[in-house]
Structure 1
Amino acid sequence: MRTDELLAAAFDNIEGVVTRAVDGLTVDQLAQAPAPGANTIGWLVWHLTRVQDDHVAEVAGTEQVYTAQGFAQRFALPFDDRETGYGMDVEDVARLRAEAVTLLDYHRAVHAATTTYLRTLSDGDLDRVVDEQWDPPVTLGVRLVSVVTDDLQHAGQAAYVRGLVT
């Protein structure tokens, strides 16, 4: 198995968990916090997808799926189109109301863009420095593993919340 195939398998796992967490839920269920101040399924999935979209588009040198494919308009959220959810407060989380089909369509489109990008990579590409603001500088491999780790954590949280609200 090549490195790009390994990374694709990890992103496939995320897509599977996201689908199981969201599929068939209503807008109200997706927006239901399991406790005061907790994140909702809808927000968790939107956020993890926004982060993947943002980070992969940056390293791939492409426009984000969110704006390129009209998802910013479909969601019609009261946030800047560059918003990924990082640092949002409870009120911001509560503002995210979306249909399951919109969340899943967006996640699947980002997943497709991600896997397309991964197929262009060789093992040597993973050592390329993509962010010099850290010490040590962040390589492409580290950035992609970071996205996988963060996304799986949030997808698991969404799956857990589904069990609480359904």
Structure 2
Amino acid sequence: MTSAELLTDAFDRIREEVHAAAAGLPADLLAFRADPDANSIAWLLWHLTRVQDDHVADVAGTPQRWTSDGWAERFALPLDPSDTGFGHDRDDVAAVRVDSADLLTGYHDSVHAMAVGYVGGITDADLPAVVDNAWDPPVTLGVRLVSVISDCLQHTGQAAFVRGLAERA
């Protein structure tokens, strides 16, 4: 298995879990929060997709799908278009509401296509390239992609858990 195949498989798994967490949920369950400070399913799936979009577009040198493909307008959230959800408080989380799971999965599918299109061309020789000097040690492409994958898988697991709570509430 090549690095490209491994990374593609990881991003494919994220997509599968996003779809599983959102499938068939109405707006009220997508907005369910276990308590006022908890994240909703909609927020978790939006946030993980925004981070994947932001980080992969950055290393790929392409525009983010959020703005370039009109997803920001379709979601119509009361947030700055550059917002990815980092540092959100309870009010910011509450502001991420959607009418349909299809909106979340549609945006994710668009970002997924961009991500697998990019990682499908990566070789082992690409992974040690430094992509962010703001950290000590500097962040390499391999570390950035693993970080995105890890973050996305954590949030899909959280969304699945919240879905279970919402369906039992």
| TM score, norm. by length of structure 2 | 0.97
CA RMSD for the aligned pairs?
0.6
**d(CA) in 2 for partners of 1:120 and 1:10?**
15
**d(CA) in 2 for partners of 1:65 and 1:71?**
7
Aligned partner letter, 1:108: D
**d(CA) in 2 for partners of 1:154 and 1:162?**
12
| SS of equivalent to 1:32 | coil
1:46 Cα deviation from its structure 2 partner? 0.1
1:34 Cα deviation from its structure 2 partner? 1.5
Moved over 6 A (4+): none
**d(CA) in 2 for partners of 1:121 and 1:128?**
11
Tell me which residue corresponds to 2:80: 80
Tell me which residue corresponds to 1:60: 60
**d(CA) in 2 for partners of 1:10 and 1:34?**
29
Aligned partner letter, 2:4: D
Please show how residues 98-137 of structure 1 align to structure 2 within 5 Å: 98=98, 99-137=100-138
Q: Determine whether 1:158 maps to 2:167.
A: no
Superposed CA offset, 1:11-56 (max 9, x none): 1111111101001001111011022211000000000000000000
1:102 Cα deviation from its structure 2 partner? 0.5
Using the aligned pairs only, state the percent identity: 57
**d(CA) in 2 for partners of 1:7 and 1:59?**
14
| SS of equivalent to 1:130 | strand
Tell me which residue corresponds to 2:46: 46
Tell me which residue corresponds to 1:28: 28
**d(CA) in 1 for partners of 2:121 and 2:73?**
29
**d(CA) in 1 for partners of 2:144 and 2:123?**
15
Tell me which residue corresponds to 1:14: 14
| TM score, norm. by length of structure 1 | 0.98
User: Which runs of 5 or more structure 2 residues have no equivalent in the other structure?
Assistant: none
**d(CA) in 1 for partners of 2:154 and 2:117?**
23
**d(CA) in 1 for partners of 2:3 and 2:154?**
21
Aligned partner letter, 1:134: W
Aligned partner letter, 2:62: T
Aligned pair count reads: 166
1:121 Cα deviation from its structure 2 partner? 1.1
**d(CA) in 1 for partners of 2:159 and 2:34?**
11
**d(CA) in 1 for partners of 2:63 and 2:18?**
23
User: Which runs of 5 or more structure 1 residues have no equivalent in the other structure?
Assistant: none
